[in-house]
Structure formats: C-alpha cells, structure tokens
Structure 1
Amino acid sequence: MRVAVRALRRAVGPLVRSSTYARGVYVFFGGVVCIPYAALAVIFVIGLRRDDATAGGIALILALALVAVAGGGAVTLLPGVRTLEIVTVRALLGVKLPDPDPASRQTWEARTRGSVFYFLTLAVGGCVSSLVIMSIPLGVTMLLVPFSGSHAVTLTLTRRFAPAAHSTPAAILMGCAGAALLCAAVYLLAGAGALLARAAPILLGPTQADHVAALRRQERKLAAGNRLARELHDSIGHALTAMTMQAGAAGRVLDDDPEFARRALHLIEETGRSALGELDEALGMLRRGVDEELSGSTLAGLDRLTAGYAGAQVLSTVTGDLNAVPPLVSREAFRVLQEALTNAVRHGDGGPIDLVVRATPSTVRLEVTNGVTAGRGRGTSGRGLIGMRERVLMLGGELRAGASSDRWSVCATLPWPEPAP
C-alpha cells in the first residue's frame, strides 16, 4: 500500500509542484526568443523555393542567411549573456549557481558554454512550447465534449467532435483523453524544465578559470588568517610575557624599592595599552573581512621593545641605519625580534640576553642569544619559531635557531632589493 501511495505521489508530483510551472515559464521564454529565428528561417526557405528565383537572388539570400546566423551566434558570445542566463536560471529553474568571477567572464570557455546553453534553451523551448500551445486548446476542447449537450458555448467549441457528443460513453472517453492530453502537456513542460535544469550546472557552472580564481581567493584568505594569527601570537604573547615579568619584579621589590615598582607598573600599563591597540586593529580586520596589512611596529621602536622587559637584562648592539630599512622588512624584523626575546625570557636561564641588529644597504641581520638551564632544551617545532620562519621565508630570507653548548641563539637574515642608482 505504501509503495502504491509513493508511486502515486511521484506520478502526481509534477502536476502540483510550483517548480514545474516556474520552469515552464523559462521554457516558454525560450520559445518566445526562438520566434525571430524561426521567422527568419521561414523567410529564407520561401525565398529559396520561389520559382522565379535567379542565381544572384539565391546567392544574396544565402549571404543574408549567413550574416543572420553569424550575427545571432556572435551576440550569444557576449560576456553579459552568460551572466543574464545565470540570474534567470536561478530564479526560474531553481538551480543554485555561484556568481561568475569577473575575470573569468571574459574567457572564451565561459562565453562558449553560455552560447551553447542559450541555443539549447531556444531548441527545447521552441519545440516544447509549440507542442504545449497546440495541446492546451485541443485538450480543453476534448475535455468539454461530455458537457457539450447542455452548454451552448461548449457546443460551438466542440463542433468538430459533434459525432462523439451524441454517444455518452464516447463523449466521456473523449473528455478523459482531453484531460490526459492536458496532463501530458504539463509532464512535457516538467521534463523540458528538468532537462534544462540538469544542463545548467554543466554549461553555466564554474569554469576552470572560476575554479582557479576561487582557489586564489581561498589562498589569500588563508594567508590573511595566518598573518593575523602570527601578529596576535607575537604581539599578545610578547605583551603577556613582559607584563608577567614586570609584575613579578614589582612584587619582589615593592617594599625595598618602591620607585622601581612604580616604573614597572607604569610599563605594565603602557604594554597593556599597546597590546589592546594591536588587538583592536587585528579584530577590525576580521570584522571588515578585507585583506590588508597591519601597521605594526618597526625597528625604529627597538628601544621600546627592549624596555618592555623590566626584569630582564637585554644587551643591545645596533649597527647601521635602521630607518633606512624598508617598512615591510622593518616590521617583520621587529616581530621576529619580539618573538625571539619573548622566547628567551620564557625559556632562558634568567641571565643576560644578547640582541644584535646589523643593517646594511641590502640586508638586516638579527641575532638573539640567551643562556639555557642545564638539561633543558627547546626544539624548533614551537608555534613561535614556525611563525618567525614564515615571516623570514616570506621575504626570501634565512632563519637558524638552535642550541650551542649552554647558549640558545636565533639568527635571521632579511634581504631586500638594493635601490636603483
């Protein structure tokens, strides 16, 4: 019983679904657009079959036909045709198609596929809409045959079926045939709409250029996410490490050296404000959803970076003009130093930290060295070291990190093209 009910629902479904009639509108739209093409074809055929047609006239008709075919085909290759088809297919055929990439709309693959779907719509729409237009009046007329004996209007409409109207069984059979013809017209519309809906993703779906553009957008999105993650890791991690050290140092000397504790608390306040500013900038980028560069700090703020570690002894050596380093390289170098110092404070033995920055006309070399507690080493798989390596490699540089005896060092070289003379 359930199987029979399901089969009945499946059979009746196309007759009652709204999508059938929405797709039918699209099919009729193809039939309407097909009319000018059919009219031109009829005119050319009539011209060629005239008895008084001369060789010159036939040549002229063939030339005009060739021009008409070429012009009609060329129009379908315009980039806007495929875009219009996608919008119409979404609305009437109910097919979910992504927006075409603006760059890929100019490719010949996209234009050709849009042109093929255009002519497929015309062929299917022209044939099906013609059959449906003929079937509906005929089916309605046949359906009214059983009632033609009591309605003057139906008698006029069913005059051609008058013999059948005198026989009640034949009239009823004629009415059932009319109802079946109307149902067949609806099924024909549903089948044509389903055919076009199945062909739409193949011909109007993403092209190879669309897939490449989508991959590039995804790549840019992932790169932007990785960059934000590095920025947040470095800036917030540095701030928390510095604030923890300063708070611990202030707590240890609060009674013996209140002035030092006051300076440490002031540094905690400044570090917190700076971290909040960088966090707000990063979150702003996430809210806007745009791919842009964080302003960040540069090597010009190196003194502020080292001053943030009030409880650590950072011995800085700077050679060269740091202001001559390009902004992008200077910003990435600052982040590398920031992460290296944070790791040195977290994992070092508490002794002096040597920081060396050497700037030349084409490179900047960074080196951070600190002591490590005996028996305690660090690998190179930490998130911080991965982030530093990504920054350096992005600029075509080189980074080395590792332990030698009881010292841990991070060395990075960041190059940039020399300015033209």
Structure 2
Amino acid sequence: MRRSAAPAARRFVGVLVGRRARRRWVHLVLGGAVSMPYVFVGSILAGPLVGDRVVLGSLASQLLSFAFGLPLAAVTALFPLTRPMSVAAVRALCDVPDASLADGPPRSRAARARTAAWFTLHLGFGGIVSGMTLALVPFAAFLLALPLTVSLTDSWIGVPEHLHSVWTPLLAPVVGAVSLLALAGCAAGAGLLLARWAPGLLGPTPADRLADAERRAADLAVRNRLARELHDSVGHALSAVTLQAGAARKLLDRDPEFVREALAAIEDTTRRTVGELDAVLGVLREGGERGRDGHAAPAPTLDADLDGLLRRTRAGGLRVDAAVDLGGPGGTAALPAMVSREGYRIVQEALSNVLRHAGPDSEVTLRVRLDGTGLEIVAENPLPDGARPPATRPGGGHGLRGIADRARLLGGTAEAGAHDGSPDGRRTHHPQGTHHPYGTWRLRVRLPLPTHP
C-alpha cells in the first residue's frame, strides 16, 4: 500500500506544480499581464456605473472592468498578427504538439473568429489566475507565518480581534496550505483546458492545410529543379573533364596539339561550370539566380551556347555528328527562352550519357530541329558488342529522369531506349562490320512551342 501510494502522491504533486504545470502557469500569468490594458480601458466605463471614484477601487468595479475589457480584447484579436504570437506562446509554454498548430496569420473569417475566441479565453483565464496569484500567495504566506508571530512576539498583527483565539495559530497554516493547493489546482486546471482547446482554436483550417501543401509542393519543385541543374551541369562537366584529361594523358607525347586543345577545353568547361554552379547556389542562398557580382547569372541556351558545348564535347574525343536547324518560321526569335534553356540541358545530358556509357571513342548523331510547332531533339549512338542500354532498371537513371521531367514540365514528351534502325526489325549491322545486338541507343525529345508567347 505504501509503495503504491508514493507514486500516486508524486504524480499528484507533478500535476499541480510540475514542470509542465509551472510553464502553463507562466502562460496564464502572461495572459493576465496582457489583459491589464483592456481592464484599465474597461474601468473608464465601469467606474461611473458603480459610483467608484478610484480606478479599480472596489471588487465590483474590478469585476465589471474585467467584463468590459474582454470584448475589447476579442475585437483586437482580429488583427493578423494575433495568431502567430499566440501560437508561439502556446508552443513555448503549453506543451502542445507543433503539428496541431497553424503557422502564419488566419486566412478565413472562421479562423479569425477562432483566434479571437482563443485570445479572449487566454486573457480571461489569465486574468483570473493572475488575480488569484497576487491575492492568495501573500495571504497564504501570512497565515503560514502567523504561528511564529504569535509565539515569538505575542503579536496578532493583521488578525481581527474577534479571531484572537488559541485555535487561530493552529488553523492558520492549514488554511494557508489549502489556499495554495486551491491556487495550484485552479492554475493547473485552467492551463490544461487551454492546452486542450489550443489545437481546435489555433489549429490549421482547410485553407491553411491547402496553403501548406502548396508551399511544400513549391519547395519540392525548387529542390527538384536544383537537383536537375546540378546533375546536368556539374555531372556533364565532370564527365567531360575526366575524359578530356584521360585522352590528353594518353596522347601527351604523340599529339601535343590535341593535348593543348584538350587542356583549353578543360579550362573552358570548368570556368563555365563554376559560373553555372554559382547561379544554382545563388538560388539556394537568395531565392534567385544571382552571380558573384550580384547580377543575374544567365542560363545557357541552345542558340547562344550549343556550339561551345559541341566543341568541348569533341575535345574529349567523342565524335559528334550534329545537324542543327534553329531557323524555323521566324528564326531563333521564335524559340522561347524557356524552351531554349531546357533544350540546352537536354542536349547536354544526352551527350553526358554517351560519354558515361559508351566512352570517349564512340560516336553520336545529334539532330536539333525547330519547326512551327515545337523543338525536336534526337540523339543516337551505336551500342558495341556486349554493351547494354544505359537504363537497365525501371525508370532509368537520374539523367533520363531529369530529361523526362524537363520535357513534361513544358508539355512535351521524351522517349529513350534501344532502337533497331532496320525496317524489318532485324539487327543492325554497321559499316565497320561490327555486330550490334542492341542496335542503336536513341533519345528523342519533343518540346512544343507555347501557343501564346
């Protein structure tokens, strides 16, 4: 019995004066402090009604001032900043799960009404508990110290004469302890009620959940875009630089001219990649593509940067047979900037795939054509004996997924896979006489042009 009684007593004490109860008590006292300006304004209306010439001079004027002040608090709680401040206080002091509370100002009339109800309850309970704390704590301290005062000094300071009795020093500490217990119980109960009501009054509404979902979707889209940019720009640069350096090392003694061209291509590739990486990191730092000089870092495009990309790729040893026709109706002016940027990244990733999977000594046929309806990009390279297509697992690699994402975001299509060029479906035999069991690897992307610029 004693063993079971001790934990129950500790739990009871914890409920009344434990860490959680003390923090909620502080939350209530803050509500009482915030309620004081409203009470003072209410006293201007309450004073003439009770005939009290002194502000808050009587208990009746105090209660009436409090009753007049709470509606004023409810009106001011309609301001947008009320809910964020209330939520911050609840999270810090009331031990309420963060997920059950809303972030930001209320977005609907119902949410503002619930915030006003919460603010009024917080100030109402806080004012009552704060008043009880200010009144009962000194009163209880006086009663607890009364026996010492009577026994040591034979003084009955503050005790009415009709209470001067031998029982008064004995009962005073009991009354003081009960007063403190009652105060702690009221504070714990009020704090518990507010903590239970907080998710319902300060929790997210359907509009808040929708806005949060849209915000998460936007963040995810930004992260995916950054991942694609890093993969395509940095991944292509590393693949190209690695192959260029390897080719230069092999031909260092035999072909110095090729080595100089490879080193120049490596320098150009790394310089451009540092600029592109700086632009991508600027998106992370500032939410916009800003370079080191504070100006917007332009993204590479097909019409302005494709020739340089092909030159650097060829310097790594890859044979690129390119047929580029960006004339179309209206010339390059008909190519929207977004399509041009995404088309450049798609070509860049297509060449990177060939470098990674087929090697620097292979060949690739690239066709980039702009017509009246869209931009078409086709990249083909033969697969040698024993080679497998780059994507052997469902969904393909990160590069092919990135190409598909870019095409889908612009309303286009992307197809990648082994392709046999013979009309009857037989295996392809290339001019060198090499047998290619998988034929040709083909990437075909179609990006439509927007109907309205």
**How far apart are the structure 2 equivalents of 1:24 and 1:74?**
20
Q: Which residue of 2 aligns with 1:63?
A: none
User: Residues 356-375 of structure 1 correspond to what in structure 2 (within 5 A)?
Assistant: 356-375=367-386
Q: Which residue of 2 aligns with 1:317?
A: 323
* More helix, by proportion: 1
Q: Which residue of 2 aligns with 1:413?
A: 446
1:308, CA displacement in angstroms?
1.4
Match of 1:250 among 248, 251, 261: 248
Q: Which residue of 1 aligns with 2:364?
A: 353
**How far apart are the structure 2 equivalents of 1:81 and 1:333?**
48
Match of 2:259 among 261, 265, 278: 261
Does 1:305 pair with 2:309? Answer: yes
**How far apart are the structure 2 equivalents of 1:142 and 1:298?**
85
User: Residues 71-220 of structure 1 correspond to what in structure 2 (within 5 A)?
Assistant: 73-89=74-90, 93=94, 101-102=103-104, 104-125=105-126, 127-129=128-130, 135-136=136-137, 139-140=140-141, 142-143=143-144, 145-147=146-148, 149=150, 155-159=156-160, 162-163=163-164, 165-167=165-167, 171-220=169-218
Alignment-mate amino acid for residue 213 of structure 1: A
**How far apart are the structure 2 equivalents of 1:145 and 1:254?**
101
Preserved CA contact (<8 Å) 1:220 1:291: no
Q: Which residue of 1 aligns with 2:410?
A: 395
Preserved CA contact (<8 Å) 1:140 1:178: yes
1:159, CA displacement in angstroms?
1.2
Residue 110 and residue 303 in structure 1: after superposition, are their counterparts in 2 closer, same or farther (change >3 A)? same
RMSD: 3.7
Show structure 2 runs of 5+ residues with no match.
Answer: 52-67, 291-296, 421-438
Does 1:343 pair with 2:353? Answer: yes
Residue 140 and residue 323 in structure 1: after superposition, are their counterparts in 2 closer, same or farther (change >3 A)? same
1:323, CA displacement in angstroms?
5.3
Name the SS of the counterpart of 2:396 in structure 1: coil
Q: Which residue of 2 aligns with 1:56?
A: none
**How far apart are the structure 2 equivalents of 1:204 and 1:111?**
9
**How far apart are the structure 2 equivalents of 1:35 and 1:357?**
76
Residue 8 and residue 94 in structure 1: after superposition, are their counterparts in 2 closer, same or farther (change >3 A)? same
Name the SS of the counterpart of 1:256 in structure 2: coil
Preserved CA contact (<8 Å) 1:365 1:411: yes
1:132, CA displacement in angstroms?
5.3
Name the SS of the counterpart of 2:446 in structure 1: strand
How many residues in Structure 1 have an aligned counterpart in Structure 2?
396
Does 1:229 pair with 2:230? Answer: no
1:363, CA displacement in angstroms?
1.5
Preserved CA contact (<8 Å) 1:95 1:197: yes
Residue 284 and residue 134 in structure 1: after superposition, are their counterparts in 2 closer, same or farther (change >3 A)? closer
**How far apart are the structure 2 equivalents of 1:354 and 1:243?**
21
Residue 162 and residue 419 in structure 1: after superposition, are their counterparts in 2 closer, same or farther (change >3 A)? closer
Residue 272 and residue 177 in structure 1: after superposition, are their counterparts in 2 closer, same or farther (change >3 A)? same
Between 23-32 and 339-348, the greater mean CA deviation after superposition: 23-32
Residue 154 and residue 399 in structure 1: after superposition, are their counterparts in 2 closer, same or farther (change >3 A)? farther
Q: Which residue of 1 aligns with 2:56?
A: none
Residue 84 and residue 249 in structure 1: after superposition, are their counterparts in 2 closer, same or farther (change >3 A)? closer
1:374, CA displacement in angstroms?
3.4
Name the SS of the counterpart of 1:105 in structure 2: coil
1:366, CA displacement in angstroms?
0.8
- Could you state the TM-score of these two structures normalised by the residue count of structure 1? 0.79
- Could you state the TM-score of these two structures normalised by the residue count of structure 2? 0.74
Post-superposition Cα deviations, 1:155-213, rounded to whole Å, max 9, x if no partner, equal 242116525x234xx53133222222223213322322232233223322333333333
1:79, CA displacement in angstroms?
2.3
Preserved CA contact (<8 Å) 1:28 1:125: yes
Post-superposition Cα deviations, 1:211-250, rounded to whole Å, max 9, x if no partner, equal 3333222222222221122112112222222223323433
Q: Which residue of 2 aligns with 1:276?
A: 274
Alignment-mate amino acid for residue 408 of structure 1: W
1:416, CA displacement in angstroms?
2.5
Residue 283 and residue 121 in structure 1: after superposition, are their counterparts in 2 closer, same or farther (change >3 A)? closer
Name the SS of the counterpart of 1:166 in structure 2: coil
Q: Which residue of 2 aligns with 1:54?
A: none
Name the SS of the counterpart of 1:172 in structure 2: helix
Name the SS of the counterpart of 2:445 in structure 1: strand
Residue 302 and residue 323 in structure 1: after superposition, are their counterparts in 2 closer, same or farther (change >3 A)? farther
**How far apart are the structure 1 equivalents of 2:35 and 2:273?**
65
Name the SS of the counterpart of 1:373 in structure 2: coil
Preserved CA contact (<8 Å) 1:148 1:154: yes
Post-superposition Cα deviations, 1:232-278, rounded to whole Å, max 9, x if no partner, equal 21122222222233234334433333212221222122222222332
**How far apart are the structure 2 equivalents of 1:407 and 1:190?**
76
**How far apart are the structure 1 equivalents of 2:181 and 2:374?**
80
Residue 297 and residue 178 in structure 1: after superposition, are their counterparts in 2 closer, same or farther (change >3 A)? same
1:404, CA displacement in angstroms?
1.9
Preserved CA contact (<8 Å) 1:318 1:357: yes
Alignment-mate amino acid for residue 399 of structure 1: A
Preserved CA contact (<8 Å) 1:238 1:338: yes
Name the SS of the counterpart of 1:316 in structure 2: strand
Preserved CA contact (<8 Å) 1:250 1:264: yes
Aligned identity (percent) is 37
Preserved CA contact (<8 Å) 1:353 1:371: yes
Residue 317 and residue 343 in structure 1: after superposition, are their counterparts in 2 closer, same or farther (change >3 A)? same
Preserved CA contact (<8 Å) 1:317 1:357: yes
